[in-house]
Amino acid sequence: MQVLLLSLLVALLGTGAAVNAEPVVVVNAASTTQQLRQDEVINIFLGRYRSLPSGGGAVPIDQPESSALRAEFYRRLVNKELNQINAYWSRLIFSGRTSPPLQASSASEVIQLLVANPGGVAYVERSQVDKRFRIVLEFPR
């Protein structure tokens, strides 16, 4: 019941965030990476490089397809709509040299993946950030 309630709350919050979503880029608190520049985030998320400046592989994690946070993230990152991002990936996918970010099925899965993956780089709602994560990039308002 507690879980259900929490989920509901998260769902509520999630929907609230859809209106007022404010994504921040975070890494596992165990990571050595302290800060990322916006272009470094672009390179990681759009498949140009898959490594962190501090060394070690970078695993970008995307929010679910329909997530409002995802749309807001790409809008803030590269000023593109999600369909444009999808078209981009569709040109690259079949050559197989690079791949899109890891696709989480939900927001919680994003957190799980991030906790489980020391090289993970994700974007979450600011309110969801806790001591397990470290904010490496905030988008100016």
90 or 108, CB closer to other proteins?
90
Q: Is 27 left (phi over 0), alpha (psi -120 to 50) or beta?
A: beta
97 or 131, CB closer to other proteins?
97
Give contact residues for other proteins (rule: CB under 8 A). 39, 42, 46-48, 78-80, 88, 91-92, 94-98
Distance CA(82)–CA(37), nearest Å, equals 22
Q: Shortest distance, CB of residue 51 to other proteins, whole angstroms?
A: 14
Structure tokens belonging to residue 12: 């509520």
Structure tokens belonging to residue 41: 């985030």
Q: Shortest distance, CB of residue 14 to other proteins, whole angstroms?
A: 27
Q: Shortest distance, CB of residue 74 to other proteins, whole angstroms?
A: 10
80 or 134, CB closer to other proteins?
80
In order of 49, 115, 118, the CA distances from 69 in angstroms are: 23, 19, 22
